[in-house]
Structure 1
Amino acid sequence: MDQARYDKGMKRLQQMNNMSTIGSRLMEISPELNRYIKEFAFGDVHSREGLSPRDHELVIISGLCALGFAAEEMRSHINMGLNAGLTRQEILETFIQLAVYAGFPAAVNATFIAKEIFDARDAKGIKN
């Protein structure tokens, strides 16, 4: 375990105002996997300076759409993307573009997940 990497990952997650429950739920069953995600995905990769947090999220959302089977992660990253400055329209346009390359089923599934997130944010009074 590398505490500095973990702390860096936690800082990034806090900056992104992640509203996901993935970490707390994962902690119950696999604290090790939860820690690796925070150390590597957020401490090492997501914290790199080459892209803005907003652009990191656009890339991640695109990759998750292309995978077509990562609904929990998609929910989390749509929220983080919106918190980082992506607009709803940019997210939906991304899925339209990806329909050509990742397939229509993946784009449709991602669009429905985005609608869930948009509705949840609207219900909480979060306008972006």
Structure 2
Amino acid sequence: MSSTPETGEDPEAAPPGYRTAESMAGEEAVTGFVDSLDPVGGHLADLVIETVFDKLYRRPGLSHPEREMVTLAVLAALGDTESQLTLHLGIAHRLGIAPSKVIEIFAHTSAYAGFPRALNAVETAKQFYGELGVLPLAQNQQAR
């Protein structure tokens, strides 16, 4: 949905949800999400992006990092959401949410959603942060 020099499209012509999603997740992540649903679910990608990143993330009351922390907790609690959790770990990272805080969110989630779901979320985070090269977490970075 972003402009390219080749097309000459105006980036402001992109729908607001796409602009917000790209500013938070990056153009590559948004394109990857849309492409993962094509050719049969492109309309679903539009619905998700416009609902979540326009209608929800642009509401007043919570900052983007606060909304992202809620999203991580809910995805962990739901379970079986590894691809969405990985996408939102990327957003959290881009928003400056420390890995130690993410792990603490999952630890807290364990009391309400159960240890298996929290442990699965931690495993997804371990893979994500491992690929970024930020593991092991420094002692002073870990929440205690």
Fold agreement, TM-score > 0.5:
yes
| Aligned residues of 1:22 and 1:72 also touching (Cα < 8 A) | no
Q: Matches of residues 48-87 of structure 1 in structure 2 within 5 Å? A: 48-87=59-98
2: CA distance, partners of 1:12 / 1:110: 25
Matching residue within 11, 14, 35 for 1:24:
35
Which is greater in Rg?
Answer: 2
1:47 aligned onto 2:55:
no
Q: Which moved more, 1:37-46 or 1:11-20?
A: 11-20
State the match for 2:5 in structure 1.
none
State the match for 2:17 in structure 1.
9
Tell me the CA shift for residue 7 of structure 1. 1.1
List gaps (5 residues or longer) in structure 2: 1-11, 135-144
1: CA distance, partners of 2:88 / 2:98: 13
Q: Secondary structure at the match of 1:28?
A: coil
Q: 1:47 to 1:27 in 2, by over 3 A?
A: farther
Tell me the CA shift for residue 22 of structure 1. 2.3
1: CA distance, partners of 2:73 / 2:101: 11
Tell me the CA shift for residue 25 of structure 1. 0.9
State the match for 1:94 in structure 2.
105
State the match for 2:141 in structure 1.
none
| Aligned residues of 1:61 and 1:74 also touching (Cα < 8 A) | yes
1: CA distance, partners of 2:40 / 2:53: 20
| Aligned residues of 1:16 and 1:84 also touching (Cα < 8 A) | yes
1:120 aligned onto 2:128:
no
Q: Secondary structure at the match of 1:40?
A: helix
Q: Which moved more, 1:99-108 or 1:45-54?
A: 45-54
Among all aligned residue pairs of Structure 1 and Structure 2, give the percentage whose two residues are the same amino acid. Answer: 25
- Higher helix proportion: 1
TM-score by length of 2: 0.76
Higher relative contact order (CA 8 A, sep 6+): 1
